[in-house]
Structure 1
Amino acid sequence: MDSLLQLALALGLMAIAIALSAWQKLGLEWNLALATGRSVLQLVVLGYAIAIAFEVNNPWFGLCVVGVMLVVTAIVTRNRISQKIPYLVPIVAASLFIGVALTLVYTSLFVIQPRSWLDPRYLIPLTGIILGNAMNGAAIAGERLVNSLNANPLEIETHLSLGATPEQAIASYRRDAIRAGLLPTINTATIIGLSTVPTFMAAQLLGGVPPLTATAYQIVVLFMIILATLMIILLITWGICRQHFTKDAQLT
């Protein structure tokens, strides 16, 4: 009952936000209300799913939860990049899977070394953290690259006519997109611990974890996010570039 009461009181924060929006005539009241309802519902469903996964302790169930998370993240990321590029969902999903899998394999082998790699208590939270952060970087990079390619067809075709390969013709656009997608993560890393306490570390501290232990876990998570985000952005931008050229190296 105390938890339900605290949750109900926490909704007062959003009520204040909605009231402020109405007071300033921002027109965001419905958006805030919808975001509140969806976030509560989605988190409650996720909480029950994770609770079942922990109780059952079945690797296959944990993998199913992770699979759903990956598919939803791929669709959301695709929608933010472009809905006109064919096969973009499979490209994004494959990029997310490879980036998350390689990062978790390295972390499992050399850092955390859990008893079971597929333990839901380990697999689900870390996958969710990586996906949540990588999605933003991938969406920024993908959208930047698509806009650049659509805005500069003549320049790209000029490079192609002079003998450049598709990779060479769009190299500068892809490089700028990768930098734009990774920059928010790098900026977070540069100020972390100075002006901010990261969410993961704050949650551990609120849960009673010793500060130095929470710090060690946060360092591991931060480095995982940076590596996974970079790999995912590299793969997604490469896939987008492939979709913009025909087999004869012509811009579509």
Structure 2
Amino acid sequence: MSVIAISWWELALASVLVGALAACTYAARLAVAQELVIAAVRTVVQLALVGFLLETLFSLGGLHWVALMGAAMLVIAGREVTARQKRRFSRGWTYGIGTTSMFLSSFSVTVLALTVLIGPNPWYTPQYAIPLLGMMLGNTMTGVAVALDRLTDTAWQQREMIEARLMLGQPWSVAIADVRRDAMRAGMIPTINAMAAAGVVSLPGMMTGQILAGTAPALAVKYQILVMFLITVGTGFGTFAAVAAAGRRLFDRRERLRLDRLTEARNS
């Protein structure tokens, strides 16, 4: 089965539908029309640039170009994690924790999948490496951002209870255990829900794309199961590492709660 081409006028028709939705929300005074239009424009521009970059990258195919693309994706993901925080660690610690945890989890899981499970030749083939790394980073970014935001905000709200536990002689890890557990759960819920609903409530994006491109459904299902397991592992380890590092950062060497290391975002 060949792939059905999509013409420019069909994309234009889809954009007209988005414009109609924006007009309806504007008429109803829902205050989302401007954000909707901006998001649509960003989608077109960003995906067009990514398409151009990927075509160039696929033609080059060198490991250093793939590594450079991966590094750029990691830097942008770290910025997004930092931007989503209501309360951030000062001196760039939020960015450092976010990027380090995503690097350790997403890159290691991607390399493992490419070298052991999928096995393209060479293992860094851009057609496999970049989409897989993108899915790993995108989902891990969401988990890390949600977990860090929940951790710092809950610690701020429950600071009196945490300090009371410290005064009773509990170590910092016990005093903040409930907060860390809640943050870890919050970061993993989207991934767990996606796994639980896959194939029942919705068809995952990668599987849908492969089927539309003509891949046999049985093969598309195998790839989707593999990718979802990899995403879960990457998100889980990345979220765990971020929560562990951020939780320790909330205390000094004398195990005192140091909320002065947090700064509230100006746009919150």
**1:166 aligns to what?**
172
Matched, 1:57 2:75: no
The alpha-carbon deviation at position 145 of structure 1 amounts to 0.8
**1:115 aligns to what?**
121
Matched, 1:38 2:42: yes
Paired residue total: 252
Higher mean C-alpha displacement, 20-29 vs 89-98:
20-29
**1:66 aligns to what?**
70
Check whether the contact 1:49–1:65 (CA below 8 A) recurs between aligned residues: no
**2:22 aligns to what?**
18
Check whether the contact 1:71–1:93 (CA below 8 A) recurs between aligned residues: yes
Check whether the contact 2:114–2:124 (CA below 8 A) recurs between aligned residues: no
The alpha-carbon deviation at position 170 of structure 1 amounts to 0.5
Q: Which amino acid aligns with 2:27?
A: W
Q: Give the secondary-structure state (helix, strand or coil) at the position aligned to 1:40.
A: helix
Distance in structure 1 (CA, Å) of the matches to 2:229 and 2:153? 29
Runs of 4+, deviation exceeding 6 Å: none
**Could you tell me which of 10, 23, 26 is aligned with 1:6?**
10
1:91-127 superposed Cα distances (whole Å, 9 cap, x missing partner)? 1101000011221233234321222232211111001
Q: CA RMSD in A?
A: 1.6
Gaps of 5+ in 2: 259-268
Distance in structure 2 (CA, Å) of the matches to 1:239 and 1:172? 16
Distance 1:189 1:88, change over 3 A: same
Higher mean C-alpha displacement, 43-52 vs 133-142:
133-142
Check whether the contact 2:110–2:136 (CA below 8 A) recurs between aligned residues: no
Say which structure is richer in helix: 1
The TM-score with structure 2 as length reference comes to 0.89
Check whether the contact 2:85–2:149 (CA below 8 A) recurs between aligned residues: yes
Distance in structure 2 (CA, Å) of the matches to 1:164 and 1:190? 37
**Could you tell me which of 204, 213, 232 is aligned with 2:219?**
213
1:54-109 superposed Cα distances (whole Å, 9 cap, x missing partner)? 01111111111111111111111111124631311111101000011221233234
1:150-181 superposed Cα distances (whole Å, 9 cap, x missing partner)? 01112111222222221111111101111111
1:168-218 superposed Cα distances (whole Å, 9 cap, x missing partner)? 111111011111111121111111101201111111111111111111111
Q: Give the secondary-structure state (helix, strand or coil) at the position aligned to 2:84.
A: helix
Aligned 1:176-187 pairs, distance under 5 A: 176-187=182-193
Higher mean C-alpha displacement, 222-231 vs 79-88:
79-88
**1:129 aligns to what?**
135
Identity %: 31
Higher mean C-alpha displacement, 173-182 vs 22-31:
22-31
The TM-score with structure 1 as length reference comes to 0.95
**Could you tell me which of 107, 126, 140 is aligned with 2:146?**
140
Gaps of 5+ in 1: none
**Could you tell me which of 27, 32, 37 is aligned with 1:28?**
32
Q: Which amino acid aligns with 1:95?
A: S
Q: Which amino acid aligns with 1:71?
A: V
The alpha-carbon deviation at position 133 of structure 1 amounts to 1.6
Matched, 1:95 2:116: no
Distance in structure 2 (CA, Å) of the matches to 1:233 and 1:215? 26
Distance 1:33 1:251, change over 3 A: same
